[in-house]
């Protein structure tokens, strides 16, 4: 327990952005996760984003080996992990050097002075020591000998080797930050008790270091004040912190349970999508069949086989993997089987920027196949709503007998935020087109009159033996057909089937102004950045700016044009060179679509957005 008696009255803040940085092995991800979980538990809204190198264990102290974790917490609505860092915790010189750009002058930096050795400064390419050369004069720097204080704290704990002692210094830093932001250490101590249940000496060591850090901050004059962030007003209910990739995996689990159809995943590891595979392989107890295939192509083709045999089949990948899957995706479209392809977008082209975010696979998802090959294309907007959109993707695939591409991106896949947990009972019904009995004069390409979806007759069903395949099919019998008119008819009906999905998806909604001078348009994972920028302007009195966010791109919501026409200017904001803008231009060619594009492997920053919008409004 933490003594209360000496506590200074903390200053109340609305929101704060904290970034923990250090070596890959310094435990920054754990430190950040603990801080965000603790904050969520006391009712703050939170948004987090990890930033780690693509090297697994980069050389110690090197600039490219820096691992970071950013947390944005608030008593107000938090939509992004934040831009300007209020507190930077730098465990080594390389971490300071690579992250100082994000800290505005006047803001706070906590530094482990023990790590600022000559050797580490050289590795970080510092010619002079920033702690001595005055380059940090404009910041509030809190210098703490974290490594040696950690060693001192643990000198009486038995059974610890040097490595273990060094590795627990992140908990000293966390203790300091807990005190600064008026948070209890209880949640993290509970975590130690569970995580190290069989290793009591590690519970003792980590608890001791954490509390020592906390007490150190409390008694240290260098840390003059502490802050508090009150609980946010969020809808009542049970929450958990969830990442986009986990939410995606769980959306499919829920869809499988609701539909009563077993889940099959065919997948090949690729950054940043692999965590979906990691999550689904854990759930054999729900009957999940997760198959790590020999390559991307086998990932999707095994899923096509499973779909033919009656499973809810999905495959997960990122940009280069989608390229490899494109021929098979055409097959799935041609044989009209349900299939969900998740593309967790990363920086492209080619291998590109595997650990960075981008939205540049939209046109690949739309058109990256031979022939006329329409599929449903949709996108999730935040880490937690990956659950909803994965569920919805599965529902649309099953109900419309078609492949669906669900686009997420590295930013929302790895980011996390509170999720108001959905019980499967609350989720919408999922129907399917299974046919289980022989019908007179039945054909495999008989279609539902409303959706145009064909019947799903799976192997093992008596009397419905039939063949499907990639060759063009006769519109009635489903036999191979090269008849010219039939091919044109089938091409058009496949397009019409996807078009009609517009009758089954929600209408587009506008946030803030419903009519006015400027409509900000976004899609997919940029929701948090765009929503908070428009909201901020709105709160400052700009009441002629509205925001429309697209989650469905093929087909587009039916009322899209009705919304576009309410505004004098439209600006399409996306993390690519204008792919969604080109789709809108093609569909609604009488409107002038302005563009705001960023292609740096980074999300939109708040300031660049608000400045752009203000400029367009002036």
Partner 1 sequence: METTAKKEYTFKDFASNQEVRWCPGCDDYVILRSMQKALPEMGVKKEDVVFISGIGCSSRFPYYMDTYGMHGIHGRAPAIASGVKLANPDLSVWVVTGDGDSMAIGGNHFIHVLRRNIDLNILLFNNEIYGLTKGQFSPTSLVRQKTKSSPYGNTQPPFQPGELAIGAQARFFARIGGNTPKEMTQMFIDAETFNGTSLIEILQNCVIFNDGCFTQYTDKNVREDQQLFVEDGEPMIFGKNKDKGLVLNGLKLEVVTIGENGITEQDILVHNAGEQDPTLHQMLVRLEYPLVTGIIRRFQDVTLEEREDALTKEVMANSKFTKTDDLFFSGETYEVK
Query: DSSP letters of 2-24?
Result: ---TTPPPPEEESEEEEEEEEEG
Among residues 238, 350, 441, 618, which is the contact residue for partner 1, using CB under 8 A? 238
Q: Does 253 bind partner 1 (CB under 8 A)?
A: yes
Could you say which DSSP state residue 504 is in?
G
Nearest to 602 by CA among 207, 210, 80: 80
Strand order in the sheet with 403-409: 289-292, 263-267, 312-317, 339-345, 403-409, 376-379, 552-554
Could you say which DSSP state residue 448 is in?
-
Residue 3 or 425 with smaller CB distance to partner 1 = 425
Nearest to 103 by CA among 119, 116, 87: 87
Please choose, out of 405-413, 457-465, 554-562, 593-601, the segment that lies near partner 1 by the rule CB under 8 A: 457-465
C-alpha torsion sign, points 267, 269, 270, 275: positive
Please choose, out of 14-22, 277-285, 429-437, 495-503, the segment that lies near partner 1 by the rule CB under 8 A: 277-285
Give yes or no for a contact between 196 and 30, defined as CB atoms under 8 angstroms apart.
no
Q: Does 466 bind partner 1 (CB under 8 A)?
A: yes
- Judged by CB under 8 A, the number of residues near partner 1 is 70
Q: Does 323 bind partner 1 (CB under 8 A)?
A: no
CB atoms within 10 A of CB 57: 10
Q: Does 428 bind partner 1 (CB under 8 A)?
A: no
Please choose, out of 159-167, 348-356, 456-464, 529-537, the segment that lies near partner 1 by the rule CB under 8 A: 456-464
Helix intervals (H) in 9-145: 28-41, 93-99, 118-123
Both tokens assigned to 444: 């495999």
Q: Does 389 bind partner 1 (CB under 8 A)?
A: no
Give the containing element (helix H, strand E) for 166. helix 162-167
Nearest to 293 by CA among 313, 310, 319, 309: 313
β-pairing, 66-74 vs 45-51, is: antiparallel
Q: Does 479 bind partner 1 (CB under 8 A)?
A: yes
Q: Does 445 bind partner 1 (CB under 8 A)?
A: no
Q: Does 467 bind partner 1 (CB under 8 A)?
A: yes
Q: Does 237 bind partner 1 (CB under 8 A)?
A: yes
Among residues 94, 144, 180, 297, which is the contact residue for partner 1, using CB under 8 A? 297
Q: Does 327 bind partner 1 (CB under 8 A)?
A: yes
Rounded to the nearest whole angstrom, what is the least distance from the CB of residue 459 to partner 1 in the complex? 4
Q: Does 472 bind partner 1 (CB under 8 A)?
A: no
Among residues 5, 118, 155, 285, which is the contact residue for partner 1, using CB under 8 A? 285
Please choose, out of 280-288, 407-415, 560-568, 580-588, the segment that lies near partner 1 by the rule CB under 8 A: 280-288
Rounded to the nearest whole angstrom, what is the least distance from the CB of residue 391 to partner 1 in the complex? 11
Rounded to the nearest whole angstrom, what is the least distance from the CB of residue 478 to partner 1 in the complex? 11
Among residues 77, 143, 257, 608, which is the contact residue for partner 1, using CB under 8 A? 257
**Residues 330-369, interacting with partner 1 (CB under 8 A):** 330-331, 335
- Cβ-based neighbours of 479, under 8 Å, separated by 6 or more: 473
Among residues 8, 469, 493, 577, which is the contact residue for partner 1, using CB under 8 A? 469
Rounded to the nearest whole angstrom, what is the least distance from the CB of residue 257 to partner 1 in the complex? 5
Among residues 49, 179, 214, 250, which is the contact residue for partner 1, using CB under 8 A? 250
Query: DSSP letters of 252-306?
Result: HHHHHHHHT--EEEEE---TTTHHHHHHHTT-GGGT-EEEE-SSHHHHHHHHHHH
Q: Where are the beta strands (DSSP E) in 60-102?
A: 66-74, 85-90
Give yes or no for a contact between 314 and 395, defined as CB atoms under 8 angstroms apart.
no
Q: Does 464 bind partner 1 (CB under 8 A)?
A: yes
Q: Does 585 bind partner 1 (CB under 8 A)?
A: no
Among residues 56, 225, 462, 541, which is the contact residue for partner 1, using CB under 8 A? 462
* Exposure on the CB side of residue 99, measured as CA atoms within 13 A: 34
Q: Does 460 bind partner 1 (CB under 8 A)?
A: yes
272: cis peptide before it, omega within 30°?
yes
Among residues 301, 345, 560, 606, which is the contact residue for partner 1, using CB under 8 A? 301
Among residues 284, 514, 558, 568, which is the contact residue for partner 1, using CB under 8 A? 284
Among residues 40, 94, 277, 280, which is the contact residue for partner 1, using CB under 8 A? 40
Among residues 293, 375, 379, 386, which is the contact residue for partner 1, using CB under 8 A? 293
Rounded to the nearest whole angstrom, what is the least distance from the CB of residue 302 to partner 1 in the complex? 4
Q: Does 31 bind partner 1 (CB under 8 A)?
A: no
Among residues 158, 465, 485, 592, which is the contact residue for partner 1, using CB under 8 A? 465
- Cβ-based neighbours of 351, under 8 Å, separated by 6 or more: 320
Give yes or no for a contact between 545 and 567, defined as CB atoms under 8 angstroms apart.
no
Phi first, then psi: what are they for 397, rounded to 5°?
-60, -45
Angstrom distance (rounded) from CA 513 to CA 506: 20
Burial of 421 (0-12, 13-18, 19+ CB in 10 A): middle
**Residues 407-426, interacting with partner 1 (CB under 8 A):** 421-425
Q: Does 295 bind partner 1 (CB under 8 A)?
A: yes
Could you say which DSSP state residue 351 is in?
T
Give yes or no for a contact between 566 and 546, defined as CB atoms under 8 angstroms apart.
yes
Nearest to 206 by CA among 193, 218, 219, 217: 193
C-alpha torsion sign, points 104, 105, 111, 113: positive
Rounded to the nearest whole angstrom, what is the least distance from the CB of residue 240 to partner 1 in the complex? 5
Q: Does 197 bind partner 1 (CB under 8 A)?
A: no
Both tokens assigned to 104: 């505005």
Residue 302 or 579 with smaller CB distance to partner 1 = 302
Q: Does 37 bind partner 1 (CB under 8 A)?
A: yes
Question: Residue 103: left if φ>0, alpha if ψ -120 to 50, beta else—which one?
Answer: beta
349: cis peptide before it, omega within 30°?
yes
Among residues 60, 461, 536, 610, which is the contact residue for partner 1, using CB under 8 A? 461
Among residues 2, 15, 41, 63, which is the contact residue for partner 1, using CB under 8 A? 41
Please choose, out of 127-135, 200-208, 301-309, 558-566, the segment that lies near partner 1 by the rule CB under 8 A: 301-309
Rounded to the nearest whole angstrom, what is the least distance from the CB of residue 39 to partner 1 in the complex? 10
Among residues 9, 236, 428, 450, which is the contact residue for partner 1, using CB under 8 A? 236
Among residues 104, 240, 439, 565, which is the contact residue for partner 1, using CB under 8 A? 240
> By the criterion CB under 8 A, which residues form the site for partner 1?
37, 40-41, 43, 231, 234-241, 250, 253-254, 257, 262, 264, 266, 283-287, 289, 291, 293-295, 297-298, 301-311, 313, 327-328, 330-331, 335, 421-425, 458-471, 479-480
């Amino acid at each position: 327990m933490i003594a209360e008696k000496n506590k200074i009255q903390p200053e109340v803040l609305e929101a704060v952005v904290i970034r923990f940085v250090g070596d890959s092995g310094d435990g920054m991800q754990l430190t950040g996760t603990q801080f965000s979980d603790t904050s969520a538990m006391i009712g703050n809204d939170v948004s987090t984003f990890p930033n780690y190198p693509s090297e697994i264990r980069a050389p110690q102290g090197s600039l490219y080996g820096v691992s970071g974790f950013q947390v944005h917490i608030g008593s107000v609505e938090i939509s992004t992990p934040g831009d300007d860092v209020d507190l930077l915790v730098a465990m080594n010189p390389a971490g300071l050097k690579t992250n100082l750009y994000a800290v505005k002058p006047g803001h706070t930096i906590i530094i482990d002075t023990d790590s600022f050795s000559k050797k580490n400064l050289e590795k970080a390419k510092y010619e002079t020591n920033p702690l001595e050369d005055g380059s940090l004069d404009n910041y509030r720097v809190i210098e703490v000998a974290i490594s040696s204080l950690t060693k001192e704290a643990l000198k009486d704990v038995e059974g610890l080797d040097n490595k273990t002692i060094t590795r627990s210094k992140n908990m000293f830093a966390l203790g300091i930050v807990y005190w600064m932001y008026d948070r209890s250490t209880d949640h993290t101590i509970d975590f130690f008790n569970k995580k190290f249940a069989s290793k009591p000496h590690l519970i003792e060591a980590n608890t001791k270091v954490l509390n020592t850090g906390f007490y150190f901050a409390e008694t240290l004059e260098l840390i003059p004040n502490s802050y508090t962030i009150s609980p946010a007003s969020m809808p009542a209910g049970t929450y958990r912190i969830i990442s986009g990739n986990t939410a995606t995996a769980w959306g499919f689990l829920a869809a499988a349970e609701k539909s009563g159809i077993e889940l099959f995943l065919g997948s090949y590891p690729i950054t940043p999508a692999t965590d979906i595979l990691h999550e689904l392989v854990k759930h054999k107890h729900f009957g999940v069949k997760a198959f790590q295939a020999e390559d991307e192509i086998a990932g999707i083709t095994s899923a096509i086989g499973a779909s033919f045999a009656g499973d809810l089949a999905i495959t997960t990948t990122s940009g280069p993997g989608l390229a490899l899957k494109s021929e098979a995706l055409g097959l799935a479209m041609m044989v009209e089987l349900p299939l969900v392809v998740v593309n967790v977008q990363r920086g492209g082209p080619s291998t590109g920027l595997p650990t960075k975010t981008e939205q540049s696979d939209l046109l690949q998802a739309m058109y990256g196949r031979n022939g006329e090959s329409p599929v449903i294309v949709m996108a999730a907007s935040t880490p937690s709503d990956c659950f909803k959109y994965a569920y919805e993707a599965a529902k649309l695939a099953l109900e419309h007998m078609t492949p669906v591409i669900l686009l997420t991106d590295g930013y929302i896949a790895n980011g996390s935020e509170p999720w108001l947990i959905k019980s499967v009972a609350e989720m919408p019904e999922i129907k399917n087109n299974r046919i289980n009995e022989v019908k007179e004069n039945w054909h495999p390409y008989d279609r539902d009159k409303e959706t145009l979806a064909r019947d799903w007759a799976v192997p093992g069903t008596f009397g419905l033996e039939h063949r499907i395949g990639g060759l063009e099919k006769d519109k009635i019998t489903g036999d191979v057909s090269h008849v010219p008119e039939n091919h044109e008819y089938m091409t058009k009906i496949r397009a019409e089937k996807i078009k009609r999905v517009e009758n089954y998806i929600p209408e587009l909604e506008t946030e803030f102004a419903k009519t006015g001078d400027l409509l900000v348009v976004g899609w997919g994972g940029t929701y948090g950045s765009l929503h908070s920028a428009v909201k901020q302007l709105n709160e400052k009195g700009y009441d002629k700016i509205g925001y429309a966010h697209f989650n469905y791109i093929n087909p587009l919501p039916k009322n899209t044009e009705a919304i576009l026409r309410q505004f004098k200017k439209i600006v399409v904001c996306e993390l690519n060179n204008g792919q969604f803008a080109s789709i809108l231009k093609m569909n609604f060619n009488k409107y002038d679509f302005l563009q705001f594009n960023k292609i740096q492997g980074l999300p939109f920053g708040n300031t660049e957005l608000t400045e752009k919008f203000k400029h367009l409004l002036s």
